[in-house]
Structure 1
Amino acid sequence: MTRPVHSDSSSMLTSPDESPYFGDEKWWVENYDFILLSGYQLRPRYNSKWVPSWTIQRNDKQEYEDGIASYISTPALDAIRLNDGAKVVLKRMPTEGQELKIALLLSSPGLRSDPRNRTIPITEVIPVVGSSWTLLVMPYCRRFDDPPFHCRAEFIEAMQQYLEGLQFMHDHNISHFDIACQNLMMDETRVVPAGSHFVRPRTHSGFLRFFRWKNRCAVGPIDHYYIDFGLSMHFPGGQDTASTVGTLRTFPTIPELSQTTPYNPFKVDIYQLGLVMQRIIESYPALQDFRQVAATMMHQDPCNRPVPAASLAQLNNIAAQMSPRILKSAMRKKNGLVDCLTRSLFGGYFPSTPFTV
């Protein structure tokens, strides 16, 4: 489900004879029939009997949904559940891997019943016959910070849930270890009633038309989730003795990361979520009152970083001092005037960069 920056690689095709698939897309084609028999239908592009629409009508493939290529590395893909028509996401992972073990532990009945559990629910587990892969079925979600936040209350609700979710994982001795914006999701059902395209989430159907949404505060509460446990670690012995080594390419500012000196991954989690919070705050001038929460979580000395419950209390204390009017007052993202105007005038915005989030 991780959505990295994406360029429309289907435009690389120069001849009708070239394969229209890229990288791991071929795996989904090869397993289309098995997935269909398991009760899930992938988009037409991945049907093993698919004939590209543009080869029939001889128009530009950009005019057809099945001309939209997925990522070069595609461990997750959207699908329709046949028994109820719900849109879901299937994620492929090694059957014997740590990611599967942790994901199933977090979705076990005992842990799922805890309201603080903000990890993505696993609705079905499908071992892929004759292979070393397993498919996990999860609800379809979108990145938590897109569309933009409307008001302080929406930001607070998201951060409350993520801090509760981090406390929950830590209470069960699980370090996520990859808390980045692309691994923080929200249920889009009420926010984007028309739905979105998995590859181009700023569009409803994959084409460049106005994208419409509702304010989270008007239709909430909204469920927020952690996804992607590919780097996660479980320490049954507890947090105090937990340690690991290694650097993270996407988190160069975390001071304790080292290839040789052990450090506590639970402290890294706190820094990572603080960094996410800081980046959101920097994008919205109205959120400056919450800057200290993020700064404390990003303390250079890991021993001085608060536990998630303390950061949650600090966040709630700041929010409690704001009036309902301030909490629900509209705020604007830096350099977001054009999007604000197009939404006010036309009910949505035109996605000038549809291939990225």
Structure 2
Amino acid sequence: MLQERGYRLRPRYRPGWKPSWTDTDIHPVYCEDSFTIIHWKILDATRISDGKTVIIKRVPVDSPEGDIAQFLSSPERLLDERNHTVPIFDRFRDDSVPDSEFIVMPLLRLATDPPFAVVSEIVELVRQTLEGLVYMHEQGVAHRDFSWLNIMLDASPMYPTGFHAQMKFLDPTGIHSVRETRRCDLNTVKYYIVDFGLSVRFEESDMVRLVTGVAAQDRNVPELSTSTPYDPFMVDIFTLGNFYLETLIASYSNLNFLTPLAIAMTKRDPKERPTAVEASNLFKDAVENLPGYKLRWRVRDPDDTVISSVISDAQSALREIMYQIKLFLGVSQSNSQLLHWSMSDYSVGNPGNHSSNPTDG
């Protein structure tokens, strides 16, 4: 069925597959076809038309995921650079599985994989996720599960030769280790919002925008209830703020400037939380006056030993010196925009207003 649709599965998942290590003295770990999928509903494949690796997800037909994801990733909406919805390449059904449909998406990685190198990389992640949240809410869509596992990174610019869909530390052959380019050494990377299985879309005419239900990754959302209706847009604010607090700020000791934003977004009373636009403005206020060198500085692990901290800080200082020398000599650094990332030209809710011109901050 998938072959006829234009997608070729890896050898392991083709009819008649025989393990390549059979009758050999090769250990299966060294064979690409020993790599199994992590989740039975998600399968990687090659798009035959261009050789691109894609992800095919099986979705229940009664799930809102297909409709909402396709709505948000329509051609006209994808033209808005604030839209961070995962693109849907294809959507189809097959009579052999009447209870399901299939959606095809790009191969992505978790937003936190690989680990961050410098502060500006995390600042850019926060900027893009807030930007995507503003856009999504403008379209009347509440995600309802906007947390760690549903925030993804298009890492293709970081891995020019690609990476294996199931063993991301290996190249597509599954044999060689990959070497990545740091986010900050690229002009840009893009983060995407995935998995709209719990999402809800409201029409402009809908006067009441409330839901019930307790399903979510983040079990800390205080208002989740099966009986008392709550505002799903404020749930998005909480879960994203809690992602900042527990996954980012708790992991790196020099992100304290983001703490007030995260605390505001995770207030127990939903009415005390900022809207998406207000959260974006809080973020802008938090970072716009940060000196450039702090954005370019390495992220600090709170568990660093004194020796490792001194060594890492020395390396970061050396990179900063080299940056300033290049700046003084007028050497182009356009290929490392995130190293001198600035909020000076960023305006919430205004598409196309995020400057591509590097500044020192």
TM-score tier by shorter-chain length is 0.7 to 0.9
What's the TM-score once normalised by structure 2's chain length? Answer: 0.78
Greater shift after overlay, 243-252 or 114-123? 243-252
Residue 31 of structure 2 contacts residue 175 of structure 2 at CA under 8 Å; is this kept in 1? no
Shift of 1:276: 0.8
Question: What letter is aligned with 1:84?
Answer: D
Please name the residue that 2:235 is paired with: 268
Greater shift after overlay, 201-210 or 319-328? 201-210
Equivalents in 2 of 1:78, 1:310: separation in Å?
A: 38
Matches within 5 A, 1:1-357: 34-71=1-38, 73-132=39-98, 133-205=100-172, 210-237=177-204, 241-248=208-215, 250-278=217-245, 279-335=247-303
Cα distance change on mapping 1:251 and 1:238 into 2, 3 Å: farther
Cα distance change on mapping 1:269 and 1:260 into 2, 3 Å: same
Greater shift after overlay, 129-138 or 75-84? 129-138
**Deviation string for 1:272-319 (max 9, x for gaps)?**
000111121110111111111111000111001111111111112222
What's the TM-score once normalised by structure 1's chain length? Answer: 0.79
**Deviation string for 1:58-108 (max 9, x for gaps)?**
54322212112223x421111111121111111121345321111111112
Question: What letter is aligned with 1:280?
Answer: L
Greater shift after overlay, 264-273 or 320-329? 320-329
Equivalents in 2 of 1:40, 1:146: separation in Å?
A: 26
Question: What letter is aligned with 2:145?
Answer: D
Residue 54 of structure 1 contacts residue 64 of structure 1 at CA under 8 Å; is this kept in 2? yes
**Deviation string for 1:238-285 (max 9, x for gaps)?**
686211222236322211112221111111010000011112111011
Cα distance change on mapping 1:65 and 1:111 into 2, 3 Å: same
Question: What letter is aligned with 1:270?
Answer: I
Shift of 1:168: 1.1
CA-atom RMSD in angstroms? 2.4
Shift of 1:143: 0.7
Residue 173 of structure 1 contacts residue 238 of structure 1 at CA under 8 Å; is this kept in 2? no
Residue 107 of structure 1 contacts residue 121 of structure 1 at CA under 8 Å; is this kept in 2? yes
Residue 144 of structure 2 contacts residue 216 of structure 2 at CA under 8 Å; is this kept in 1? no
Equivalents in 1 of 2:129, 2:8: separation in Å?
A: 31
Show structure 1 runs of 5+ residues with no match: 1-33, 345-357
**Deviation string for 1:182-227 (max 9, x for gaps)?**
1111111112234222223233358697552111111131111000
SS of residue paired to 1:256: coil
Please name the residue that 2:332 is paired with: none
Residue 257 of structure 2 contacts residue 287 of structure 2 at CA under 8 Å; is this kept in 1? no
SS of residue paired to 2:127: helix
**Paired residue total:** 307
SS of residue paired to 1:55: coil
Cα distance change on mapping 1:336 and 1:281 into 2, 3 Å: same
Residue 145 of structure 2 contacts residue 239 of structure 2 at CA under 8 Å; is this kept in 1? yes
Equivalents in 1 of 2:240, 2:47: separation in Å?
A: 33
Equivalents in 1 of 2:287, 2:168: separation in Å?
A: 31
Equivalents in 1 of 2:282, 2:218: separation in Å?
A: 25
SS of residue paired to 1:283: coil
Cα distance change on mapping 1:329 and 1:221 into 2, 3 Å: same
Equivalents in 2 of 1:44, 1:336: separation in Å?
A: 43
Residue 270 of structure 1 contacts residue 307 of structure 1 at CA under 8 Å; is this kept in 2? yes
Shift of 1:47: 0.7
Equivalents in 1 of 2:146, 2:186: separation in Å?
A: 26
SS of residue paired to 1:136: strand
SS of residue paired to 2:88: coil
Question: What letter is aligned with 2:233?
Answer: F
Equivalents in 1 of 2:254, 2:77: separation in Å?
A: 36
Question: What letter is aligned with 2:147?
Answer: A
**Deviation string for 1:116-149 (max 9, x for gaps)?**
1100011222332443232222111111111111
Question: What letter is aligned with 2:227?
Answer: T
Residue 148 of structure 1 contacts residue 333 of structure 1 at CA under 8 Å; is this kept in 2? no
